[in-house]
């Protein structure tokens, strides 16, 4: 399962980095809500979390549990906010 999560989150990362590049090329400025949707993936947090998960080996139902999903979202938000720069 962890390997699948790594591949999925890396694909999301690559897709959103490409989208961010296209936005810059086209001078598109997203709304705050749109920005956060994209930024959560361009941060690289989810693939990093998936790498950690490789060592944990827990079942899918644990990974998808609402509390763990919320924990990932909160951790990701804290990391993203700490790394926001004028370039973004």
What are the tens digits of pLDDT across the range 17-37?
Answer: 999 999 999 999 999 999 888
Percent of the chain with pLDDT over 70: 94
Q: Are 16 and 38 in contact (CB under 8 A)?
A: yes
Residue numbers of the domain that contains 40? 2-83
Does the model's pTM come out above 0.75? yes
Q: Is 71 domain-assigned?
A: yes
Mean pLDDT, range 32-49, rounded to an integer: 91
Q: What is the pLDDT of residue 49?
A: 92
Helical spans, DSSP H, in the chain: 2-25, 32-42, 45-53, 60-63, 66-83
- Count of domains observed in the chain: 1
Judged against a pLDDT cut of 80, whether residue 86 lies above it is answered with no
Q: Is 13 domain-assigned?
A: yes
Q: What is the pLDDT of residue 57?
A: 78
Q: Is 56 domain-assigned?
A: yes
């Amino acid at each position: 399962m962890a390997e699948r999560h790594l591949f999925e989150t890396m694909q999301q990362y690559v897709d959103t980095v490409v989208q961010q590049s296209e936005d810059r090329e086209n001078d598109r400025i997203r709304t705050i809500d749109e920005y956060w949707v994209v930024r959560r993936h361009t941060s690289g947090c989810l693939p990093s979390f998936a790498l950690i998960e490789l060592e944990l080996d827990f079942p899918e139902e644990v990974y998808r549990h609402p509390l763990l999903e919320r924990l990932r979202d909160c951790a990701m938000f804290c990391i993203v906010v700490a790394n926001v720069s004028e370039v973004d």
